[in-house]
A and B are shown apart, each in its own frame.
Chain A
Amino acid sequence: MNGTHTALDAIEKTVELDHPIERVWRAVTDPDELAAWFPNTSAVLDVRPGGEGVFAWDFAQDDGSTEHHETVVRVHEVVEPTRFVWSWGHGDLERPVTAVEFLLTARTDGGTTLLVRESGFLDAEHRSGNVQGWDGETAELVAYLG
Chain B
Amino acid sequence: MACVRSTVFDALADPVRRDLLEHLREHGPASLGELSAGRTITRQAVTKHLDVLARAGLIRVTRVGRQRIHQIEPAPLKQLAEFLAPYAAAWDDRLARLTTHLEENP
Q: Which A residues lie at the B interface, using CB under 8 A?
A: 2, 4, 6-9, 11, 13, 15, 17-19, 23-24, 27-28, 33, 36-38, 98, 114, 116, 118, 121-124, 127, 144
Contact with A along B47-67 (1 / 0, CB 8 A): 000000000000000000000
Minimum CB–CB distance from B87 to chain A (whole Å) comes to: 6
Other A-B pairs, 7, CB within 8 Å; known A11-B88, A19-B106: A9-B12, A9-B18, A37-B94, A116-B95, A118-B91, A124-B9, A124-B10
Establish whether residues A11 and B84, one from each chain, have CB atoms under 8 Å apart when the complex forms: yes
B contact face: mostly helix, strand, loop, or mixed: helix
Q: Is the CB of A122 within 8 A of B100?
A: no
Please, which residues of chain A bring their CB within 8 A of the CB of B100? 37
The interface residues of chain B lying within 8 Å CB-to-CB of A36 are 101, 105
Structural contact, B9 and A122, CB atoms closer than 8 A:
yes
How near does chain A come to B6, taking the closest CB pair, in angstroms?
9
Question: Number of B residues contacting the other chain (C-beta, 8 Å)?
Answer: 29
Q: Is the pair B98, A37 in contact by a Cβ cutoff of 8 Å?
A: yes
Q: Once bound together, how far apart are the Cα atoms of A121 and B102, in whole Å?
A: 29
Q: Does the CB pair A4–B88 fall under 8 Å?
A: yes
Whether B87 lies near A121 (C-beta < 8 A) is: yes
Could you say which of B12, B94, B99 contacts A122, with CB atoms under 8 Å apart? B12
- A45 to chain B minimum Cβ distance, whole angstroms, is 15
Chain B positions within 8 Å of A118 at CB level: 87, 91
The chain B residue sitting closest to A7, CB to CB, is B22
Q: Which of B84, B95, B102, B106 contacts A6 (CB 8 A)?
A: B84
| B binding-site residues for A, Cβ under 8 Å | 9-10, 12-13, 15, 18, 21-22, 25, 77, 80-81, 83-84, 87-88, 91-92, 94-95, 97-103, 105-106
Closest to B92 in A: A13
- Whether A11 contacts B87 by the Cβ 8 Å rule is yes
A-B contact pairs, 23 of them (CB 8 A): A2-B95, A6-B81, A6-B84, A11-B87, A11-B91, A13-B95, A15-B98, A23-B102, A36-B105, A37-B94, A37-B98, A37-B101, A38-B94, A38-B97, A38-B98, A98-B87, A114-B98, A118-B87, A118-B91, A121-B84, A122-B12, A123-B13, A127-B13
